Structure 1
Amino acid sequence: MKSLFKSFSILACMLAVVLACNKVEVEPIGANDKNNITLEFDNRVGGQKLALGTTTYKNASGEDFTVTSLNYFISNVALKKADGTTVKFPDQYFLIRQADSKTTEQLLKDVPAADYTDITFTIGVDSIKSISPVEQRTGVLDPTSYGDDNMYWAWNSGYIFMKLEGISSAAPKNSAGLNKYQYHVGGFGGRTSATANNLRTVTLSLNGTATVRKSISPTVHLITDVAKIFDGGTPLKIATAAVIMAPAAATPIANNYKNMFVVDHVHND
């Protein structure tokens, strides 16, 4: 009996050691603890990585196309905590440009320590910032900062929320002899009742938890599927409309690209 009791005692001790080793220690949250979250935008076309100018893709209409330019603004990020409350970040604006790999990872700064389950953001630049004095629009919102890759309409006094350009045999030749398609989507509404509002808000589950602590700065990996611009609900045929720039005509595109984002996973490290 003593031998049996001794064996049980040894097993109990061994189990306690294993449980202690496997226990995940979560850093306690201090009242003022903050850190950053990296938003990683992984641009793809369907299941393929997006490569500018070198890869030919096909949309659901069977039209071939390459991508020579893909840019889009992300703003008004909000994070939902596990307890259901929301933290908003209204003054952080991001411009993702496939041509510049540094812009595909954006830093959401000063995130209060908490466990987050959902992310919300706007595709585009909100009306308040769009009409604010130009001296208040700095960084990626500076209309003079884009060079040849312009993301601001001087003629329409507004930002281009999303720009997609490329070559397709379905597009007619332009004055330069190129089969080029161009989709520039903007328009925040508000000027008149007839002005198109192509701002779109997206809410996504993080498929897990982003654990922000004083020493933990998570990365949220988002996949952006450019194919949804063509096939996101309202079919967009290059042969029918190779160039769209007017806000009212671009509304179906905005409705499509609202669906092009998903969260793939979260790294908590």
Structure 2
Amino acid sequence: MKRLFSIILVSIILITSCSKDDDKISQLETEGKATVTFDAAFGTQDFALNKDFTSGTKTFNFTKFRYWVSGVALVNSKGEEYKIPGSYFLLEETGSVAVQDGAFTYPATKRESIELKGVPVDDYKTIKFSIGVDSKYNDNLSLQTGELSQLNGMTNVSWMWMTSYIFSAIGGKVTQAGTAQNLLIETGLNSNYKSVVLDFPSVLHISSTKDSKIVLKADVEKAIDGVDVVANPVVGASKAAIMTAVATNYSTKVFTVSSVN
């Protein structure tokens, strides 16, 4: 009888122990993370500041390439969408920027990667995001979330009746036939808040046991595709149609998937 009781007791302990181990594994496997890299390029070349790039008869030399990425979401193989909370990220390669009439200087920065944390463990097939800042925050800069801030030189007071965010900015010089002009191509305004949808070449499994990676190409040349930058070297809200064309380029042409793993 004592022997039978001992066997039963040991069995209960083993079952309880296994159950606890299973619970731990289950808890560990509920969330993972992924790093998304926006690898800047100009056509087939790696993007860099203060370097000449040729496109047709024009030569470009850039001092900044900056844009807001917001509303990031991953779509699993069942078509279910997981939205990353507070996903407002400033991707950029820029020299130092004078802010608030020179009262503050935003330092030279290169940032091409963001980390998505707390992603449910699953198989994912698509990434979605928008370029710019949605109207809730664009119309009221006193509201802040994610990386939104007025101290990075990505706001403009002249586009709307109140200060609003600059969604994207490309700056530098463009030269054609020996004549150089300052270049500043910016997008903004709520109507130009555009979405990007990119399918992965293969299923991406996000797990708690590995750091998943998504590499996207961000092609600066595609941002100005179809725009006569010699005739229009400065694009802002005063050139609404061109600004919208550039915003559409960001939505449909600039970003492609290089790899996922």
What TM-score bracket applies, with the shorter chain setting the length? Answer: 0.7 to 0.9
Q: 1:212 to 1:83 in 2, by over 3 A?
A: same
Task: Please provide the CA RMSD for this pair.
Answer: 2.2
Q: 1:112 to 1:214 in 2, by over 3 A?
A: same
1:72-101 CA-to-partner distances (Å, cap 9, x unmatched) read 010001111012211112521110011323
Q: Residues 45 and 57 of structure 1 are in contact (CA less than 8 Å); yes or no, is this contact kept in structure 2? A: no
**Which of residues 132, 141, 147 in structure 1 aligns to 2:148?**
141
Residue in 2 that maps onto 1:69: 64
Matched, 1:124 2:119: no
The separation in 1 between residues aligned to 2:112 and 2:177, in whole angstroms, is 29
Q: TM-score, normalised by structure 1?
A: 0.74
The separation in 2 between residues aligned to 1:139 and 1:90, in whole angstroms, is 9
Residue type of the alignment partner of 2:123: D
Matched, 1:83 2:86: no
Residue type of the alignment partner of 2:202: G
Question: Partner of 1:236: helix, strand, or coil?
Answer: coil
Question: Partner of 1:265: helix, strand, or coil?
Answer: strand
1:175-214 CA-to-partner distances (Å, cap 9, x unmatched) read xxx62111111001xxxxxxxx111101101111221112
Matched, 1:256 2:249: yes
Residue in 2 that maps onto 1:237: 228
Q: 1:113 to 1:121 in 2, by over 3 A?
A: same
Matched, 1:38 2:38: no
1:220-242 CA-to-partner distances (Å, cap 9, x unmatched) read 000011111222xxx11122101
Q: 1:140 to 1:68 in 2, by over 3 A?
A: same
Question: Residues 1-269 of structure 1: matches in 2 within 5 Å?
Answer: 30=27, 33-58=30-55, 60=56, 62-99=57-94, 100-101=109-110, 103-132=111-140, 134=142, 136-138=143-145, 140-143=147-150, 145-146=151-152, 150-155=153-158, 156=160, 157-170=163-176, 179-188=181-190, 197-231=191-225, 235-246=226-237, 248-249=240-241, 250-258=243-251, 259-267=253-261
Q: Residues 172 and 242 of structure 1 are in contact (CA less than 8 Å); yes or no, is this contact kept in structure 2? A: no
- Structure 1: 5+ residue stretches without partners: 1-27, 189-196
Identity of aligned residues (%): 29
What's the CA shift for 1:154? 2.6
Q: 1:171 to 1:137 in 2, by over 3 A?
A: farther
The separation in 2 between residues aligned to 1:246 and 1:115, in whole angstroms, is 41
- Structure 2: 5+ residue stretches without partners: 1-24, 95-108
Question: Partner of 2:40: helix, strand, or coil?
Answer: strand
The separation in 2 between residues aligned to 1:242 and 1:71, in whole angstroms, is 17
Q: 1:30 to 1:53 in 2, by over 3 A?
A: same
What's the CA shift for 1:142? 1.1
What's the CA shift for 1:170? 3.7
The separation in 1 between residues aligned to 2:177 and 2:155, in whole angstroms, is 24
The separation in 2 between residues aligned to 1:184 and 1:120, in whole angstroms, is 22
What's the CA shift for 1:257? 2.1
Residue type of the alignment partner of 1:203: V
Q: 1:256 to 1:172 in 2, by over 3 A?
A: farther
1:138-167 CA-to-partner distances (Å, cap 9, x unmatched) read 553111x21xxx100133311111100111
